[in-house]
Chain A
C-alpha cells in the first residue's frame, strides 16, 4: 500500500525534507508490516524475555518505548554502505512530477536516514559530468546532514559511465561494503552493468535501483517528433507511432536482460517508476533483502 505518492513527495522542497518524509513513511510501514523489525542490515529487536542477556538490552529503545528490547547486532557491527547516485544527463528526464534524478536522490536520502538511524556507516558517491563527488561512509549522526546536503546539490550532467563508476568504487572500497546504485542504467558501453555488478565478486553487497520515467516505459508519443539525446548530440526525427512497438520490444528486452544479469550476479534489483510511491518502493526493496537474509 503506497504511503506517500510521488506527486505528494514532489511538493516537498529539497532532498532533506523528501528523504525524511520517505523515511518516516518507511518506518510507519515497518510498524505495520508483518516483517516488523527488519531493515537494511537490520539487526532485529526482540522483546525481552527471561533468560536473555541483560547486556544486550537496548537502553535507547527502552528510553523511547518504555519497554525492554534485546538487540541483535551481529550483522550490523561493521556495515559500511555506499550509495551511488548516477547524475548523468539522462537522469534529468522527467515526464511526471519528479525527474529520475530527484527520485534517485530522494531514495538515497531516505536510505541514508535509515542507515544513520541504525548507527550504520553511510557514504555517498555521485557521478555527474564524468566526475565523482564522494562522501566517505560514517555512522555519526551529524554525517547525515553532509550526505543530504551533497545529494541536494546534485545536478544532472554528462554521460552515463557505469564502468568508470565501477572502477572508482573498486578502488575506494577496500573493505567489504554494501553498494546501492541509483541509475537508469542507460549506458551503451558493452558490459557496463556487468562491470559494476562485478563488485559482487569482491564480496561487496550490491543492490540496484533502476529508475525509469513512465514515458520511457510506455512511449506514449504519437506525432512526428524530433528526439534529442540528453547526454550527447544524437537526434532523430521520426513518427513516434510508427516505431512505438519496436521501441517497447527493445526496452523490454533491455529490462529483461538487466533483471537476468542481476539475478545471475545475485544482486538485488528494484525497478522504480518515477510516478511510483517511493516509500512503497523502498519498503519492497527492504522486504526483498530481508527475504534474502532468511
Chain B
C-alpha cells in the first residue's frame, strides 16, 4: 500500500485521543445526596457489565473513526498483487493496450470506453517512475506502436483524444504488436496491460498468446487484465442484416425492406419497436419479440416518393449499444422508362411483327419500361424529348432530318438501340447515321438457318460478362445466353482505326461483333447486329432475351448503374466506377468529413477506409452528386458482445503470468473512498450506540 499524501498520516495520532481522554480526564463528578440511592445501586449492578462493554465499543469505534479519516485523506492506494510481484523483481517495460472496438461504445452509465480511459490513466499512474510505457490503441486501424518511453504526458494527451471506433479490434494482433514494441526496451521485465471488455469476437483464444523476445529467448510477459465491464455480461440486440429492394410487384415505387435482428442478451425483449424511414421520413413501423439468443426476421414495405437512388434506414429501439440498432441503406427504385419502339417491319400477324418480342419483353410485369410502338413514318412525328430511349428495329435509313433529330436526342443524353433486319441497307445507314453508329455497317452474313447442317448457325462467343448489361448472367443464365443461335447478322467495319470509340460487348463465335456500344455526347448507342424477332435468330424466344432487353433499355437510359448495390463496411474500402474519369471529386462521410480517395489499379476509384456508418455521397467538383449515394454498415459480428470467461483468459495468458484476474482485481479499488465510507459507518454506529441506553 502506498499513500498519495503520506504526511497526512500524522493525523492518525488523533486516534489516541479517546484513550488519552479516558486516562487523563478525571473531572470530579458532581456529588449529589440522593434518597433513592438503593435503586441507583441496584440499577448500576444490573447494567455495569453491559455498560463496560458499551464503553469499550465506544472507545474502539471512536479510535477507528479518528484513524480512518486521516488515513483516507492520505489517499492510500492498494498495490495490486501483480504490480507488487513485479516490483519485487524490478521495473518492467509496459505496453498499454486500449480496446477501441465497437463494443467499447456500450453504455453502462458512461460508455465502456470512458471507463477504459480511466483505467488506462490509472494504470499509467500506478507505474513506477523508472518504468517506460507505450500506448497501443486497438481498433480497426492499428499502427505499429512506438518503443516504450517516459513521455507519459504525451501518452495522457493521446488517451484524452482517443475515441472508440465503429469497427472491430483484433486484440491478438494488438498484443503481438505491443509485445514486439516491448522488445525494443532493454529492461528485462515486460508487462502488457490490456484494457478491454474482452469480447469473444475481439480476442481469439486459438492463436498463441503474446511472447516477448528477450536475449534471443521468447518469454511470457506479465499480463495485467483490466476488465472495464467488471465481469458483467453485456446484453445486446442488433440489426444483423438489412436487405432493401424495389418491389414493383407491390406497385409503383414500392420498396420492400427485409431486416434481421439478433438478440444476444440472456433476457427476452418484448415489443421492441422497429421503424423504417425512406428519404428521411418515417414510413412504417413494426414490433418485435426477441427471445434470448434468437434471430428474428421482419419485412416492411413502403412507397418511395420518387424513383432513383433512395436512402433509408431501419432503426430499432436503442439499447445499451445503440450504434448497431440502426442501419442505413440505399435502394434503387426503378424510374419509369419511356421507350419509343420504331417498328421497321410491321406485320398483321403479331408474332411476325418485328417489334412483337421486343415490346413484349419491355412490357413484362415488373418492368419499369413503358414502350410506345410506332412505325417508321409515325415515329418521325414523335417528339423525341418525351422519351428516354429510342429503339430502331429493322428500319430503313431515316431521313437526314430524322437522323439529325436522333443525333441531337442522343447527344442530349438519350439512349438509342439499333437492331438489324431486311429493311436495313448498310450504305444508306452509314450515310445517314454515321454520327451515331458505333461502327459503319458492311454487309449481312448468313451463318445457316436453324436446323440446316450445311451452315452452322452462329452463337455468341466472347461476352463482356463484367459489363453492367451482363452482370445478372451467371451460371445457367449465362448458358442460356450462349445457347442462342444466329443465322444472319450484319458485319461491321473493323475498329482498328484511330478514333474508334465503339466497345464490343458481345461477339459471335467467329469474332464478328454482335453487340456494340458507343457513347455520343451524353447518350449511348447500342448496335445489335442481328434481329430482335425470329427472322435472323432464335434469340427472341430464349429466356435470356427478356432480361437483356430490359437491362439494355435501362442501361441506355443511364439507370442501370444506379441499380448496382454498392455497400461498404466499417474499416474497409470500396471501389467506385464513375462513368468518366475525374467525375468524382470527393466523397463525404455522414458527419461531413472527406473520405480518402485514390485511383485503383483497374481504373476505378478506391474510397475509404470508412470510419463511421451511414450514407456516403460522391460529389463532383461543383458539389453535385456524381454517383448515387451508398451506405456503409457496421460489421454485425462486432455486435455480438459475448465475453470471454475470466478463467479462459487466465488459461490463455497463463495462470502465472496474469497478475490481475479479470473481473476480480480489475475492479478499481479507490481504497480511500471505502475508508471514508467505513468512517461514516463507524460514526453512525457510534451515535447509535451512544443513544442506546
Contact = CB atoms under 8 A, between A and B. Distances in A.
Interface of A: 89-93, 100, 184, 186, 188, 213, 215-216, 221, 223-230, 234-239, 242-247, 249-251, 254
Interface stretch (B39-47, B62-70, B592-600, B604-612): B39-47
Given A186-B36, A234-B37, A225 B30 contact: yes
Nearest to B27: A224
18 contacts: A91-B35, A216-B34, A221-B32, A224-B29, A226-B28, A226-B29, A227-B33, A227-B34, A229-B33, A230-B35, A236-B40, A236-B41, A238-B44, A242-B54, A243-B51, A246-B44, A246-B46, A247-B36
A228 B39 contact: no
Given A225-B29, A228-B32, A242-B51, A186 B38 contact: yes
Given A92-B35, A229-B37, 13 more contacts: A89-B35, A100-B35, A184-B35, A213-B35, A216-B35, A216-B36, A228-B33, A234-B41, A239-B51, A243-B43, A246-B693, A250-B39, A251-B36
Given A225-B30, A226-B31, A247-B43, A242 B37 contact: no
A161 to B, nearest CB: 14
Contacts of B47: 242-243, 246
A242 B52 CA distance: 11
A244 B40 CA distance: 9
B35 A236 contact: no
Contacts of B38: 186, 188
Contacts of A229: 33-34, 37
Nearest to B30: A225
- State the majority secondary structure of interface residues on A: mixed
A244 B27 contact: no
A250 B29 contact: no
Nearest to B43: A246
A245 B43 CA distance: 9
Nearest to A156: B35
Contact of A227 (B40, B42, B693): B40
Interface string B651-693: 0000000000000000000000000000000000000000001
Contacts of A236: 37, 40-41, 44
Nearest to B693: A245
Contacts of A215: 34
Q: From B34, B46, B51, name the one whose CB has the most chain A CB atoms within 10 angstroms.
A: B34
A114 B47 CA distance: 47
Contacts of B36: 90, 184, 186, 216, 247, 251
Contact of A251 (B31, B39, B46): B39
A186 B39 CA distance: 10
A223 B29 contact: yes
Given A223-B30, A245-B693, A238 B40 contact: yes
Interface string B52-75: 001000000000000000000000
A228 B31 contact: yes
Contact of B34 (A91, A93, A237): A93
Contacts of A227: 32-34, 37, 40
Contact of B693 (A188, A237, A244): A244
A112 B40 CA distance: 35
A281 to B, nearest CB: 19
A89 to B, nearest CB: 8
Contacts of B35: 89-93, 100, 184, 186, 213, 216, 230
What are the 7 A-B residue pairs with the smallest beta carbon separation, nearest first? A90-B35, A246-B43, A93-B35, A245-B693, A224-B29, A247-B43, A243-B43
Contacts of B693: 242, 244-246
A243 B37 CA distance: 12
A230 B33 contact: yes
A216 B39 CA distance: 10
Contacts of A245: 693
A224 B38 CA distance: 17
Contacts of A250: 39, 42-43, 46
A246 B693 CA distance: 9
Contacts of A247: 36, 39-40, 43
A9 B29 CA distance: 34
A249 B43 CA distance: 9
Contacts of B43: 243, 246-247, 249-250
A234 B39 CA distance: 12
B399 to A, nearest CB: 125
A90 B35 CA distance: 5
A215 to B, nearest CB: 8
Contacts of B54: 242
Contacts of A234: 37, 41
A215 B36 CA distance: 9
A223 to B, nearest CB: 6
A159 to B, nearest CB: 11
B39 A254 contact: yes
Contacts of B30: 223-226
A53 to B, nearest CB: 53
B325 to A, nearest CB: 63
B30 to A, nearest CB: 5
A127 to B, nearest CB: 15
Nearest to B41: A236
A242 B37 CA distance: 15
Interface string B570-586: 00000000000000000
A274 to B, nearest CB: 11
Given A243-B44, A243-B47, A246-B46, A225 B32 contact: yes
B59 to A, nearest CB: 14
B32 A93 contact: no
A18 B185 CA distance: 106
A243 B50 CA distance: 11
A216 B38 CA distance: 11
Contacts of A239: 51
Interface in B224-254: none
Nearest to B46: A246
B326 to A, nearest CB: 68
A237 B48 CA distance: 12
A188 B40 CA distance: 13
A189 to B, nearest CB: 11
Contacts of A89: 35
A90 B38 CA distance: 11
Contacts of A92: 35
Contacts of B32: 221, 225-228
A180 B37 CA distance: 25
